[in-house]
Amino acid sequence: MLQQDSRIPLQKIATKLKVPKSTVHYRIRRLEREDLIQGYYAKLDASKLGYDYLAVVLVRAKYGPQYHKKVGQKLSQVPGVWAVYYVLGDFDFILLIRAVDREDYMRKLESVSSMSDIERTSTQIVARVFREDPRVDTGA
Amino acid sequence: MLQQDSRIPLQKIATKLKVPKSTVHYRIRRLEREDLIQGYYAKLDASKLGYDYLAVVLVRAKYGPQYHKKVGQKLSQVPGVWAVYYVLGDFDFILLIRAVDREDYMRKLESVSSMSDIERTSTQIVARVFREDPRVDTGA
Amino acid sequence: MLQQDSRIPLQKIATKLKVPKSTVHYRIRRLEREDLIQGYYAKLDASKLGYDYLAVVLVRAKYGPQYHKKVGQKLSQVPGVWAVYYVLGDFDFILLIRAVDREDYMRKLESVSSMSDIERTSTQIVARVFREDPRVDTGA
Amino acid sequence: MLQQDSRIPLQKIATKLKVPKSTVHYRIRRLEREDLIQGYYAKLDASKLGYDYLAVVLVRAKYGPQYHKKVGQKLSQVPGVWAVYYVLGDFDFILLIRAVDREDYMRKLESVSSMSDIERTSTQIVARVFREDPRVDTGA
Amino acid sequence: MLQQDSRIPLQKIATKLKVPKSTVHYRIRRLEREDLIQGYYAKLDASKLGYDYLAVVLVRAKYGPQYHKKVGQKLSQVPGVWAVYYVLGDFDFILLIRAVDREDYMRKLESVSSMSDIERTSTQIVARVFREDPRVDTGA
Amino acid sequence: MLQQDSRIPLQKIATKLKVPKSTVHYRIRRLEREDLIQGYYAKLDASKLGYDYLAVVLVRAKYGPQYHKKVGQKLSQVPGVWAVYYVLGDFDFILLIRAVDREDYMRKLESVSSMSDIERTSTQIVARVFREDPRVDTGA
Amino acid sequence: MLQQDSRIPLQKIATKLKVPKSTVHYRIRRLEREDLIQGYYAKLDASKLGYDYLAVVLVRAKYGPQYHKKVGQKLSQVPGVWAVYYVLGDFDFILLIRAVDREDYMRKLESVSSMSDIERTSTQIVARVFREDPRVDTGA
Amino acid sequence: MLQQDSRIPLQKIATKLKVPKSTVHYRIRRLEREDLIQGYYAKLDASKLGYDYLAVVLVRAKYGPQYHKKVGQKLSQVPGVWAVYYVLGDFDFILLIRAVDREDYMRKLESVSSMSDIERTSTQIVARVFREDPRVDTGA
């Protein structure tokens, strides 16, 4: 329920679950302490904020001892890169990048391709987002 | 600020921005009406909820008039598929899938590959998530 | 010289080549009759006219008797497609496309990919044009 | 109209657009000053000038800081290379090359492949040009 | 120990593990009942039996509901195919095939490629076996 | 028969083949001396022992004199790698790897990819084993 | 010796091998009867005869029972195709084609690509022949 | 006619062409002087001489000034390599190799892959030769 609307009143949750409000309060605190709930965020519409140039980038890195840790961390810090997956397949990393326009995208891609550990990148421009909803399916 | 913590008190925002609390209230309402703020969500840790089998799936579909709209919508409804990008490149769609384990993943992939419009899928198993933070960079 | 500036006065050409103006006139008429000179065009700046979304599209078509003639002609008539090359290699056709923006490009690509003879397209978005000068090197 | 025939009399344009000839004159001057009209060229038939060996070359370059600017400019100066596109995809550059024959083409390709920044080239020989008309669609 | 030599006397195992022989007997029976021990085999040298033509075959199948079960079972019954893996990646199945010589291999491959569900096969001829030891690492 | 069950009594073989038991004994000894019979093994169920993460890894190595011998031997000693084939095709080596889980697999893959002779690896995760029976077809 | 010069006098061979001329005569007859010597040919220079457009064509065929026999025989009869190899790898057939010029080549390729059993062809234009000597190395 | 049988009597050619025998003699001498006739060879059956292991090898070389001349010449001298084509496409060279068996082939391939200029080779084993007739089509 908190994934649907983090500002739902505790009383409403309590009523639905038929438990006292204090129990709801207590359980939420525990989920927060266990880091299962990682935070409460307002979700903004990226395209309305001008982020209209999206890309999925397939990356090949140069091999070496522990290369994927070093490269993965560096990639995570490139502005505009909001997801960095280390994958087992034809590529080493798959990145999701948001940019304002082509010029902005090229600056961000340049930050990736100029790293000395990066061998190749292949950009797949996103023509349309059919779904992008990172909320976890809790079966609720 | 609401992206960092959606439960921040309005007064705190007001103090930081040096505007009256009522202005903050009014502006947030307007952002909500304009759908720039799409909601307030608790962010859960997918792996702690047991979603430990992640994959990026590269999909090729069969061509035909308006094929990408039909296929994109069908793909968006497959359980576990939380992102569906229609891309301009070697593939037609790139999917992000979360599953509990391999069996669960195979059921979800089967839902994709058994669609008559799908020609091929190539699964890239995610070995490690270095970053996955869908919050939009607002330069704040 | 006419490739550099089609409005150059005949007298100037005559002086440079050290031949009478009438000879220049006569020779140009002959080159026109032989269709070696195909016309006189003003060259416009595509990006200033709003054509800012350029792509090179690699196309694979379905094989069949004389398929490349039929497909090549159909591709030539798609709006926005300004070059259609039938190539001997991994692809069958390479197209150059100009569009105003992504939406416009997708409409044009849809005209290509919805043809029944087309098996696959792979779009290579042009990030920057370093050179695009179709004038023929005449060694002049 | 100037794209169709750059030598059209101003009076004819004026009559068509129903504006005074002086207005036509003034507007053309402005388009020239704004560099929207980049020049007036005679268009020659490349194959009649002996340029019968055409190729589209897919190029991969070695990555490095600002590599695409340096490489793009060098590629633009290779004789016979009339178009150089920096693309976001599996390749880094796509070149259009005109040569007289195979020997001439190989000399030109050698100028490309012997650059130290070039990793690989893949030549797609053009078997037939179905369309090559760089004029911009102005909706006129 | 039974993986190293299935004919090791129970007494020897008992001595090593410092347990009574009857316990060894009992435990082995239990492992057999639980199907953890699947059998006791003599290991033959395939090349000395004339099986000198080995190949790893990468297979793509046509998609359809439950296709991988049907195809996987059919592939498992082709003579000479001793391993059939359904994989998540660029291919659908990877087969290990042993044949006496090229003619024999081609007959076996023909059994695979003539199945209506098979789209493509790519044979990787084994030039040398550096290791092929299916025994499970038990950390013993 | 020994491939089916290495613990079959010699008398049973003798009866089946209609030869004296001593002949059976003598012939088995000869096959052992000729190394045609390489040993007698209990076959364990890898998945019941917790080896549930299987992969086929396609490996490209850096070329050099006798590279495949050096690399092949090093790959054979990586824990968890139970088969190493040197192949003539797009790849240089194909490995079969068994691991307990993803973390374990990644450690083993890291042992491969951190070798200085290895250029690239491509992991094909095994989703299902349809057949894995290394016994040689003796036509028996 | 006959491979080097089929018109060498028998006496010269006899002297070199230190056997009587009649023995040489007899042995050559036997090699002819056994079809080990398949004929005596003048070798012509293809490029001097105008065959200046050479290509290696990689062909993929549609699978089906005994497809490679049917397709291989049809390919062997295409004019200009002087070698047809059925290969085990990423392609099904590799062809060597000689043509007079591009037009001639395209006619010949059209004969290949218009066969209903052919799925794709990829032409590799030969830029230079470094060696083409079909004589068998006899260690002589 | 000399391509069909280099030992055809001059008289027979003369009769067929309805010219005097001396003319035939004279013309053949001229063709030899012009090097259009490059020699007279006995054609041997490679497979009967034990050359049963054939392969087409796709080679990628490292780029550099004039690399293809140096590499092409070196490849031409590798024993067993009877054809070396420098091609414009995805590969740099295509080789035809004849070997006695797999061991012999591997030695020959090792001579290729251990050259410092060679980046990768991909072997396509020939399963069947449908046609291999290097005689030039003279329209005779």
G82-136 pLDDT, tens digit each = 999 999 888 999 999 999 999 999 999 999 998 989 999 999 999 999 999 888 8
Q: Which residues of B sit within 8 Å Cβ distance of F?
A: 102, 106, 123, 125, 127-128
Instruction: Look up residue H35 and give its amino acid.
Output: D
Pairwise CA distance, residues H89 & D122, whole Å: 5
Instruction: Look up residue F116 and give its amino acid.
Output: S
Nearest residue of chain A to residue D68 (CA atoms): A110
Q: pLDDT tens digits for A77-94?
A: 999 999 999 998 889 999
Residues of chain D with Cβ-Cβ distance to B89 below 8 Å are: 89-90
Is the pLDDT score of G7 beyond 70?
yes
Q: Is A59 exposed, middle or buried (0-12, 13-18, 19+ CB in 10 A)?
A: buried
Nearest residue of chain D to residue G107 (CA atoms): D127
Question: What values do phi and psi take at G137, rounded to 5?
Answer: -75, 110
Pairwise CA distance, residues B13 & B3, whole Å: 12
pLDDT at H139: 59
Instruction: Look up residue A61 and give its amino acid.
Output: A
pLDDT at C139: 60
Q: pLDDT tens digits for C10-38?
A: 888 888 889 898 888 888 888 888 888 88
For residues A57 and A115, is the Cβ–Cβ distance under 8 A?
Answer: no
G contact test, residue of C85, C86, C87, C88 with most G CBs within 10 A = C88
Q: b/e map of B111-129 (b: 16 or more CB within 10 Å)?
A: bbbebebbbbbbbbbbbbe
For residues F121 and F113, is the Cβ–Cβ distance under 8 A?
Answer: yes
Per the CB < 8 Å rule, is C35 touching D48? Answer: yes
Write out the DSSP string of H42-86: EEE-TTTTT--EEEEEEEEE---TTHHHHHHHHHHTSTTEEEEEE
Distances (CA, A) of E33 to B109, E29, E30, E42, F3: 35, 6, 5, 21, 20
- Closest approach of chain D CAs to the CA of H61, in angstroms? 9
B87-B91-B92-B97 Cα dihedral, nearest 10 degrees: -90
- All residues at 6 or more sequence positions from G19 whose CB lies less than 8 Å from its CB, including other chains: none
Residues of chain H with Cβ-Cβ distance to C90 below 8 Å are: 89-90
Pairwise CA distance, residues D112 & H64, whole Å: 10
SS (H, E, C) chain F: CCCCCCCCCHHHHHHHHCCCHHHHHHHHHHHHHCCCEEEEEEEECCCCCCCCEEEEEEEEECCCCCHHHHHHHHHHCCCCEEEEEEEECCCCEEEEEEECCHHHHHHHHHHHHCCCCEEEEEEEEEEEEEEECCCCCCCC
Residues of chain A with Cβ-Cβ distance to F104 below 8 Å are: none
For chains B and C, having 3+ Cβ pairs within 8 Å is answered yes
Residues of chain E with Cβ-Cβ distance to A89 below 8 Å are: 89-90
Tally the C-alpha atoms within 13 A of residue E60's C-alpha that lie toward its C-beta: 13
Residues of chain E with Cβ-Cβ distance to F132 below 8 Å are: 82-85, 134
- Is residue C66 very low, low, confident or very high in pLDDT (cuts 50, 70, 90)? confident
Least Cα distance to F81 among F59, F66, F64 occurs for F59
pLDDT at A139: 60
E contact test, residue of G59, G60, G62, G63 with most E CBs within 10 A = G63
Element (H, E) at C23: helix C21-33
E27-E30-E31-E35 Cα dihedral, nearest 10 degrees: 170
Ramachandran area for residue G48 (φ above 0: left; ψ -120 to 50: alpha; else beta): alpha
Least Cα distance to C70 among C120, C108, C115, C107 occurs for C115
Residues in chain E where the model's pLDDT stays below 70: 138-140
Residue C32 is encoded by which pair of tokens? 């026109």
Strand F53-61 and strand F93-99: pairing?
Answer: antiparallel
Pairwise CA distance, residues F124 & E88, whole Å: 6
Sign of the four-CA dihedral C96, C99, C102, C103 = negative
Element (H, E) at E97: strand E93-99
DSSP helix/strand/coil, E122? strand
E contact test, residue of B54, B110, B124 with most E CBs within 10 A = B110
Residues of chain F with Cβ-Cβ distance to H123 below 8 Å are: 88-89
- Closest approach of chain B CAs to the CA of D92, in angstroms? 14
Which of E60, E65, E88 lies nearest to residue B114, judging by beta carbons? Answer: E65
What is the mean pLDDT of the segment spanning C49-74?
A: 90
Instruction: Look up residue D34 and give its amino acid.
Output: E
pLDDT at F139: 60
- Closest approach of chain F CAs to the CA of E102, in angstroms? 15
Q: Which of B67-76, B79-88, E116-125, H34-43 has the lowest mean pLDDT?
A: H34-43
Least Cα distance to D84 among D100, D68, D66 occurs for D68
Which of D113, D114, D122 lies nearest to residue H89, judging by beta carbons? Answer: D122
Q: pLDDT tens digits for F47-58?
A: 888 888 999 999
Residues of chain B with Cβ-Cβ distance to E67 below 8 Å are: 113-114
What is the mean pLDDT of the segment spanning G56-71?
A: 90
Residues of chain B with Cβ-Cβ distance to F128 below 8 Å are: 106
- Closest approach of chain D CAs to the CA of C30, in angstroms? 13
Element (H, E) at A108: helix A102-113
Nearest residue of chain E to residue G67 (CA atoms): E114
Which of F5, F40, F49 lies nearest to residue E5, judging by beta carbons? Answer: F40
Rg value, chain H, Cα: 20
Nearest residue of chain C to residue G119 (CA atoms): C63
Residues of chain F with Cβ-Cβ distance to G89 below 8 Å are: 89-90
Nearest residue of chain A to residue E91 (CA atoms): A89
Instruction: Look up residue F34 and give its amino acid.
Output: E
Which of E39, E46, E137 lies nearest to residue F136, judging by beta carbons? Answer: E46
F114-F118-F124-F130 Cα dihedral, nearest 10 degrees: -100
For G17, which DSSP code?
H
Q: pLDDT tens digits for A37-57?
A: 888 888 888 888 888 899 999
Residues of chain B with Cβ-Cβ distance to A98 below 8 Å are: 136-137
**Which other chains touch chain C, taking contact as 3+ CB pairs less than 8 Å apart?**
A, B, D, G, H
pLDDT at G49: 80
Distance from chain centroid for Cα A88: 19
Residue E37 β-bridge partners: F44
Q: b/e map of E44-82 (b: 16 or more CB within 10 Å)?
A: bebeeeebbbbbbbbbebebeeebbeebbebbbebebbb
Cβ-based neighbour number of residue C15 at 10 Å: 12
What is the mean pLDDT of the segment spanning F32-43?
A: 83
Least Cα distance to D138 among C19, C42, G37 occurs for C42
Distances (CA, A) of A48 to A44, A45, B35, B132: 8, 5, 9, 21
pLDDT at H97: 96
**Which other chains touch chain A, taking contact as 3+ CB pairs less than 8 Å apart?**
B, C, D, E, F
For chains H and B, having 3+ Cβ pairs within 8 Å is answered no
For residues C99 and C53, is the Cβ–Cβ distance under 8 A?
Answer: yes
pLDDT at G93: 97
Which of G76, G91, G130 lies nearest to residue H72, judging by beta carbons? Answer: G130
pLDDT at D128: 93
Write out the DSSP string of chain B: -TTT-TT--HHHHHHHHTS-HHHHHHHHHHHHHTTSEEEEEEEE-TTTTT--EEEEEEEEE---TTHHHHHHHHHHTSTTEEEEEEEESS-SEEEEEEESSHHHHHHHHHHHHTSTTEEEEEEEEEEEEEEE--------
Per the CB < 8 Å rule, is B90 touching A124? Answer: yes
Sign of the four-CA dihedral C73, C77, C83, C88 = negative
Which of B64, B67, B88 lies nearest to residue C123, judging by beta carbons? Answer: B88
Pairwise CA distance, residues F88 & F79, whole Å: 25
For residues D91 and A120, is the Cβ–Cβ distance under 8 A?
Answer: no
Q: Is F52 exposed, middle or buried (0-12, 13-18, 19+ CB in 10 A)?
A: middle
Is the pLDDT score of F6 beyond 70?
yes
What is the mean pLDDT of the segment spanning A134-139?
A: 75
What is the mean pLDDT of the segment spanning B46-62?
A: 89
pLDDT at G139: 60
Percentage with pLDDT > 90 across chain A: 46
Output the CA angle E63-E68-E73, nearest 5 degrees. Answer: 135
For residues B65 and A58, is the Cβ–Cβ distance under 8 A?
Answer: no
pLDDT at G109: 94
In order along its 140 residues, chain D shows pLDDT tens digits of: 777 777 788 888 888 889 898 888 888 888 888 888 888 888 888 888 888 899 999 999 998 888 889 999 999 999 999 999 999 888 999 999 999 999 999 999 999 998 989 999 999 999 999 999 888 877 65
> For chain D, how many residues are written?
140
Sign of the four-CA dihedral E98, E100, E102, E106 = negative
DSSP helix/strand/coil, C57? strand
Pairwise CA distance, residues E47 & F81, whole Å: 21
In order along its 140 residues, chain H shows pLDDT tens digits of: 777 777 788 888 888 889 898 888 888 888 888 888 888 888 888 888 888 899 999 999 988 888 889 999 999 999 999 999 999 888 999 999 999 999 999 999 999 998 989 999 999 999 999 999 888 876 55
Distances (CA, A) of G126 to B105, C120, F117, H62, H67: 47, 27, 33, 18, 16
Nearest residue of chain E to residue A91 (CA atoms): E89
Least Cα distance to H81 among H71, H91, H68 occurs for H71
- ipTM value: 0.88
- Closest approach of chain C CAs to the CA of H105, in angstroms? 29
B22-B24-B29-B34 Cα dihedral, nearest 10 degrees: 140
